[in-house]
Amino acid sequence: MHPSDDPYVTIAAWLKHAEEHELNDPNAMTLATSTKDGIPSARMVLLKGFDANGFVFFTNLGSRKASELQENPRCALLLHWKSSRRQVRVEGDVTRVADDEADAYFATRARDSQVGAWASRQSEPMTGRAELEQRIAHTVARFGLSTIPRPPFWSGFRVAPRAIELWEDRPFRLHMRYRYERDGDGWKHAELFP
């Protein structure tokens, strides 16, 4: 691998390869957040888009991750494709996506996922599975066959990278690593020791 001046060129190629070869969720990524006091947490989310403005994922705004991002709008992402032996690390600043972008994405979701977004009180305790099933039934009855709008408590976040690292496996743990750091409107990059 030889780095492009733009890390998004390599990321797009790697993601396309993953979409063709990974068995499950080639767009799965680890999202690491922390509270304002620096207490970290990490979980898997799905990358739903990326461009020069950053990496986008969606969630319930009442979730732990959303609360932490609102307290401390910085995070790290990790895309790891084990079968391709590649990974992308991202460190950046977080902002909410515009309502029209969240609406547009929500409209593309499967209807059951739309119902689930309304029914789940993500990250809150529940009395048992029956409570969730009742909330699902209530949501189905509420919307019937009509279009399901995006809940006001559900949106997306964009991670604008300050730094990106591309990693590719090599024999004897002599891996290829390139780190990009934001430099004005472009990037500066360097190859790193493995």
Choose, from 85, 86, 96, 173, the residue flagged as catalytic. Answer: 173
Q: Which two tokens stand for residue 70?
A: 């609102």
**Amino acid, single-letter form, for residue 180:** Y
Residues linked to residue 179 through DSSP beta bridges, in sequence order:
165, 190
36/5 Cα distance (integer angstroms): 34
Burial profile 3-26: b = 16 or more Cβ within 10 angstroms, e = fewer: bbeebbebbeebbeebeeebeeeb
Taking the CB of residue 180, how many other CB atoms lie within 10 A of it?
24
Cα distances (Å, whole numbers) of residue 4 to 7, 8, 10, 186, 191: 6, 9, 7, 12, 12
Catalytic site includes residue 173: yes
Three-state SS at 66: helix
84/167 Cα distance (integer angstroms): 11
Catalytically annotated residues: 173
